[in-house]
Amino acid sequence: MGRLDGTVAVVSGAARGQGRADAVALAREGASIVAFDIAAPLRSPLHPPATPADLEETARLVEAQHARCLTEVLDARDLAGLHALADRVHAEFGRVDTVVVNHGIWTVAEHSWTLSENDWQETVDVVLTGAWKVTRAFVPKIIDGGQGGSVILISSTMGEKAHPSSIAYTASKHGTLGLTRVLAWELGEHSVRVNAIMPGATGTPLATEGESIERSSKWHPRFYATDRNLLPVDWIPPESIARSVVFLASEDARHITGAVLPVDAGWSAF
């Protein structure tokens, strides 16, 4: 018996990294998975893009857990496409129980005033507006199901703390906590719980590839001098974030809503 048997979970940005780990962990607990990802390059991030082959690998790993997996190449900025996917999920699976708003990009510039307008706009569009659009499309399906559900938004330690070099990302991840709190307020009466996770430095291409960290630490050595995990770990594995996603999706968290959970090895504790 899995903790999520018979449920349906949607994961954005599921081609790799945390989204893939979330999809596999949710499937292991019995959920059917809807995994979507842009799986294409964006203009601004330094880290390399995910690919359609990455998304297919996620599907293979989910199916290895004996779970159904519907995949789609889809941009979280495309509200019409999200509505079409939500309708397709409803037609094929008959319900939506869990939505993990996980997709994201990270952009850096030495200073807030040297970031290009394009980089600002793309980051806010993907990270903040895209998060709202995913909830805009899928929350009505959870409400219509009448059985409650769980929405989990992936913010960041940058959702509560300043990170020099990352103005657009930091502002968008702060905004993600705003989305979480308003949605938790509005959805409580429908027994839909809404919570956020703030991952710390997690070992995925967003952080480990493309030199964003190298550049930021060169630009802002004073910040990085105090950037310390309390636990003796450099990188949190994506599977560790996924454990918290499963917890928040499950009945174990049935009385938790509007919460913000750091999974950051203690990074934000001081």
Ligand X SMILES: NC(=O)c1ccc[n+]([C@@H]2O[C@H](COP(=O)([O-])OP(=O)(O)OC[C@H]3O[C@@H](n4cnc5c(N)ncnc54)[C@H](O)[C@@H]3O)[C@@H](O)[C@H]2O)c1
Decide: helix, strand or coil at residue 107: coil
Nearer to ligand X, 19 or 149 (CB): 19
Nearer to ligand X, 102 or 165 (CB): 102
Nearer to ligand X, 12 or 32 (CB): 12
Q: 223: which 2 tokens?
A: 């910040």
Q: Would residue 226 be called left, alpha or beta, if left means φ above 0 and alpha means ψ between -120 and 50 degrees?
A: alpha
Q: Which residues bind ligand X (CB under 6 A)?
A: 12-13, 15-19, 37-39, 47, 49-50, 75-77, 102-105, 126, 130, 154, 156, 199, 201-202, 204-207, 238
Could you tell me the end-to-end alpha-carbon distance of the chain, in angstroms, rounded to an integer? 40
Nearer to ligand X, 143 or 247 (CB): 247
Nearer to ligand X, 146 or 230 (CB): 230
Residue of 132, 138, 169, 247 marked active site:
169
Separation of alpha carbons 74 and 144, rounded Å: 23
Separation of alpha carbons 95 and 236, rounded Å: 32
Question: Nearest distance from residue 50's CB to ligand X, in Å?
Answer: 3
Interstrand relation of 32-37 and 8-12 (parallel, antiparallel or unpaired):
parallel
Separation of alpha carbons 122 and 68, rounded Å: 33
Judge whether 169 counts as a catalytic residue. yes
Q: List own/partner pairs for 60-66 with CB under 8 A and 24 or more apart.
A: 61/20, 61/23, 61/24, 62/23, 62/24, 62/27, 62/33, 62/35, 65/24, 65/27, 65/28
Q: How many CB atoms lie within 10 A of CB 145?
A: 17
Minimal CA–CA distance to 90: which of 155, 157, 159, 145? 145
Question: Nearest distance from residue 246's CB to ligand X, in Å?
Answer: 16
Question: Nearest distance from residue 222's CB to ligand X, in Å?
Answer: 20
Decide: helix, strand or coil at residue 18: helix
Separation of alpha carbons 152 and 74, rounded Å: 19
Question: Nearest distance from residue 161's CB to ligand X, in Å?
Answer: 11
Point out the residues that are catalytic: 169
